[in-house]
């Protein structure tokens, strides 16, 4: 996974695409590449596929017309989770955007040991990603992977931009992509029901059985859905609605958790007690936001926009009735991320 050691964790439009291809072990293909096999009558008469767009408009994928997507569950950190259900109501895929809270110990010898890992199949997915220094980084792909645990082989199926490991061993499947869009970190992966009622990765008796699963209609359907994922491009410049996090610790006025909105050069920062209004002006590569409110507060931010995120430094302060600036607080750094 591009985020090393990470531990966790779309409006319907008509549209049809061609069946996904299959091939030998560790085969690579591009989305929409036709199968080398002759289409069977069943494949020719397959049901219509439709496009689904998430409620926030950040992601779209295709799926069979009789599949459904439940309403998103949004946690306190803003991560939205969508269950993608097959006919009958069984959740077969889960999509998440704005994933937060990643980080963990990963594999631990003796406690959470790693076992032989390999990629059995993958399909490229053209998603915009942020640069990564992780040695196992790969272009975004639907990856079908296996881990040979003692007495069983577990498989994972999902979109990733990094190998699970660089040494041929792993203890878990991490299907995340760090995107250069407002969706930020996303996860889109298959879910399987286990005998004990839990959900997650699937288990086979051996690697041959895991390889045979690739020839099933279920596998091809899941890969086709995953490979159809598209993300809305990040807005150019400073435009939209952002959540602010800042590092100042003056104890007078806290920007963290406040909302910055920029529309056509006009800017507002909404706080629980007041709304500050002003301008957002581009000066070369930098954007300068200057807002103030009736309750004697002024905020000035200066920064750049990269991958849709506004970062920089700033200052806020109190304004006396006569217009003079009173108390001030420097902001060493701030981050304003698209909502």
> pLDDT for 108-132, tens place per residue?
887 889 999 999 999 999 998 887 7
For residue 35, tell me if it sits in a domain. yes
Residue of 93, 98, 188, 102 lying closest to 142 (CA atoms):
188
For residue 283, being part of any structural domain is answered with yes
Q: Of 184, 201, 231, which residue sits at a domain end?
A: 231
Containing structural domain, residue 293: 240-338
In a domain? residue 34 = yes
Do the domain assignments include residue 7? no
Are 111 and 190 contained in the same domain?
A: yes
Do 310 and 280 contact (CB within 8 A), yes or no?
no
Number of domains in the chain: 2
Give a yes or no: residue 4 inside a domain.
no
Residue 32: the pLDDT is: 40
Q: Domain containing 289 — which CATH number? A: 2.40.128
Encode pLDDT of 230-287 as tens digits: 998 876 688 889 999 998 877 667 888 899 999 888 999 987 778 899 999 988 889 9
Q: What is the pLDDT of residues 143-202, one digit of tens each?
A: 999 999 999 999 999 999 988 888 999 998 889 999 888 888 999 999 876 555 555 668
Q: Could you tell me if 202 and 263 lie in one domain?
A: no
Residues 38 and 143 in one domain: yes
Query: Which of 166, 169, 184, 203 has its CA nearest to residue 128?
Result: 184
> Does residue 26 carry a pLDDT above 50?
no
Closest CA to 3 of 162, 141, 115, 117: 162
Q: What is the mean pLDDT of the chain?
A: 81
DSSP string, 167-190: SSEESS----EEBSSTT-EEEEEE
């Amino acid at each position: 996974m591009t985020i090393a050691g990470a531990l966790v964790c779309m409006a319907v439009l008509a549209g049809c695409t061609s069946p996904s291809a299959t091939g030998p072990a560790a085969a690579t293909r591009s989305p929409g590449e036709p199968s080398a096999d002759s289409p069977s009558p069943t494949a020719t008469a397959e049901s219509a596929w439709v496009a689904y767009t998430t409620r926030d408009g950040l992601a779209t994928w295709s799926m069979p017309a009789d599949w459904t997507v439940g309403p998103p569950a949004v946690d306190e950190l803003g991560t939205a989770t969508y269950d993608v259900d097959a006919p009958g109501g069984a959740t077969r895929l889960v999509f998440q955007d704005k994933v937060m809270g990643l980080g963990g110990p990963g594999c631990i010898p003796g406690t959470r040991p790693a076992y032989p890992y390999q990629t059995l199949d993958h399909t490229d997915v053209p998603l915009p990603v942020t640069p990564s220094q992780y040695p196992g980084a790969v272009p975004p792909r639907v990856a079908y992977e296996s881990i040979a645990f003692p007495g069983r082989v577990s498989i994972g199926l999902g979109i990733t931009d990094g190998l699970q490991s660089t040494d041929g061993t792993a203890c878990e499947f991490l299907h995340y992509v760090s995107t250069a869009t407002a969706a930020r970190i996303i996860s889109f992966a298959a879910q399987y029901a286990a005998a004990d009622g839990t959900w997650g990765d699937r288990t086979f008796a051996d690697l041959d059985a895991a390889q045979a699963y690739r020839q099933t209609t279920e596998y091809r359907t899941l890969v086709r859905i995953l490979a159809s994922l598209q993300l809305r491009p990040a807005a150019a410049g400073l435009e939209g609605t952002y959540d602010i996090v800042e590092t100042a610790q003056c104890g007078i006025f806290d920007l963290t958790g406040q909302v910055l909105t920029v529309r056509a050069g006009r800017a507002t920062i909404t706080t629980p007690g007041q709304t500050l209004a002003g301008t957002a002006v581009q000066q070369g590569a930098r954007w300068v936001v200057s807002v103030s409110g009736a309750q004697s507060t002024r905020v000035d931010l200066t920064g750049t926009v990269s991958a849709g995120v506004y970062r920089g430094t700033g200052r806020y302060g109190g304004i006396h009735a006569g217009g003079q600036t009173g108390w001030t607080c420097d902001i060493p750094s701030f981050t304003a991320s698209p909502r």
